[in-house]
Structure 1
Amino acid sequence: MGENNTSVYEFEPTNIDGEVTPLQKYEGKVLLIVNTASECGFTPQYEGLQNIYEKYNDQGFEVLGFPANNFGGQEPGSDEEIKQFCNVNYDVGFPLFSKISVKGEDQHPLFKYLTTASNPDFTGEIKWNFEKFLIGKDGELVHRFRSDTKPESDEILKAIETSLDS
């Protein structure tokens, strides 16, 4: 565990409109937290993320996108530019947050927790854009997926459905 953080509900990141957003507001929901980027080979995954968000949202599922410029300079824009890009290109309806750092010395505390929390898959640094962290209804990390696991893959869909049913 990271610095005594026991769930994602303890974090209060800023959303893409500049408002502090306690993750406590998502308590009891299943969350897929993703570090995103606008100029990445995986950027088309925004479409898949939006599709699964629409598919499961009314069952208590949220996708939370955290733009980050840690990998290959693939998220150079401002929050406003990122928001516009996501709306225009992918009609993103799920919550987006203010651009943060997901690794290194300035790593956001939420991602420090996510990369160190125990889970059945793996821990350690994020390797690239669009890694995915599945959070159960109790706010704890259930599964972690690397960038190349597509949002609509059987692996992720099964994990979401299992978490929603639990």
Structure 2
Amino acid sequence: MKGQSLLFSFSVLFLGLFCEDDEFDQHGTIYQFQAENIDGKLVSMEKYRGKVVIFTNVASYCGYTDSNYNAFKELDQLYRDKGLRVAAFPCNQFGKQEPENEAKILDFVKSSYTYTPDMYSKIDVNGPKTHPLWRFLKKERGSSLAADIPWNFSKFLVDKNGHVVARYSHSVDPLDLEEEINRLLNS
């Protein structure tokens, strides 16, 4: 029995080192995570395989709300057909600027911007209840900035293979990401 277990462990190690199967390529990617969308349905981040994605924590009553949603809308119009997606995660951890429920948040975004990114249910991005996806995003790109998310509209850019390639402050205009988005879409 011990020999079989050792053989199995060696086989798994061998396959992990030399196999190019997608199953072994998911470590260190967003594809291992799920999140509830704004309608309460569980969604696998697999939906973003082959896409470039901006993950952002959003709030309806923030000084950055208008500029960010308008920029996301513009980027969507320019690059959606080429494979860009924006994944927006409402969060009420910063100045209580996202107090509404999911239905009101969705209505606000649709009516105010005539645009809707991929909207998810409200989450925590810091603290003991941090959503696992956001814990991963911060782990992947937490060294150059503070490990915690400092404010609404922090942004993580993810490539077509599900790897986090950059992190941007809330004060960075999403349109400033355009050159990097273009590079990732064309690679």
Unaligned runs of 5+ in 2: 1-25
Once the two structures are TM-superposed, the CA of residue 123 in structure 1 deviates from its matched residue by 5.8
Once the two structures are TM-superposed, the CA of residue 90 in structure 1 deviates from its matched residue by 1.1
What do the CA deviations read for 1:91-110 (whole angstroms, capped 9, x no partner)?
Answer: 22321000111111110001
Q: Distance in 2 between matches of 1:66 and 1:119?
A: 18
Root-mean-square deviation over aligned CA pairs: 1.6
Once the two structures are TM-superposed, the CA of residue 121 in structure 1 deviates from its matched residue by 4.9
Q: Distance in 2 between matches of 1:73 and 1:118?
A: 25
Please state whether the residue corresponding to 1:92 is helix, strand or coil.
Answer: coil
2:182 to 158, 161, 166: 161
1:16 maps to amino acid: I
1:34 to 45, 52, 56: 56
**Alpha-carbon contact 2:31-2:49 (below 8 Å) kept:** yes
Indicate the residue corresponding to 1:24 in structure 2: 46
Please state whether the residue corresponding to 2:54 is helix, strand or coil.
Answer: strand
**Alpha-carbon contact 1:119-1:141 (below 8 Å) kept:** no
1:38 maps to amino acid: S
Indicate the residue corresponding to 1:14 in structure 2: 36
Once the two structures are TM-superposed, the CA of residue 5 in structure 1 deviates from its matched residue by 5.3
Once the two structures are TM-superposed, the CA of residue 152 in structure 1 deviates from its matched residue by 1.2
1:157 maps to amino acid: E
Once the two structures are TM-superposed, the CA of residue 68 in structure 1 deviates from its matched residue by 0.4
Unaligned runs of 5+ in 1: none
Indicate the residue corresponding to 1:151 in structure 2: 174
Q: TM-score w.r.t. structure 2 length?
A: 0.82
1:100-115 matches, within 5 Å, as: 100-115=123-138
Indicate the residue corresponding to 1:48 in structure 2: 71
Q: Distance in 1 between matches of 2:131 and 2:118?
A: 17
Identity %: 35
Q: TM-score w.r.t. structure 1 length?
A: 0.92
Please state whether the residue corresponding to 1:152 is helix, strand or coil.
Answer: helix
Aligned residues: 161
1:129-148 matches, within 5 Å, as: 129-148=152-171
Considering Cα pairs closer than 8 Å and 6+ residues apart, tell me whether 1 or 2 has the greater RCO. 1
- Structure (1 or 2) with the greater helix fraction: 2
**Alpha-carbon contact 2:70-2:113 (below 8 Å) kept:** yes
Once the two structures are TM-superposed, the CA of residue 47 in structure 1 deviates from its matched residue by 1.0
Runs of 4+ residues deviating >4 angstroms: 118-121
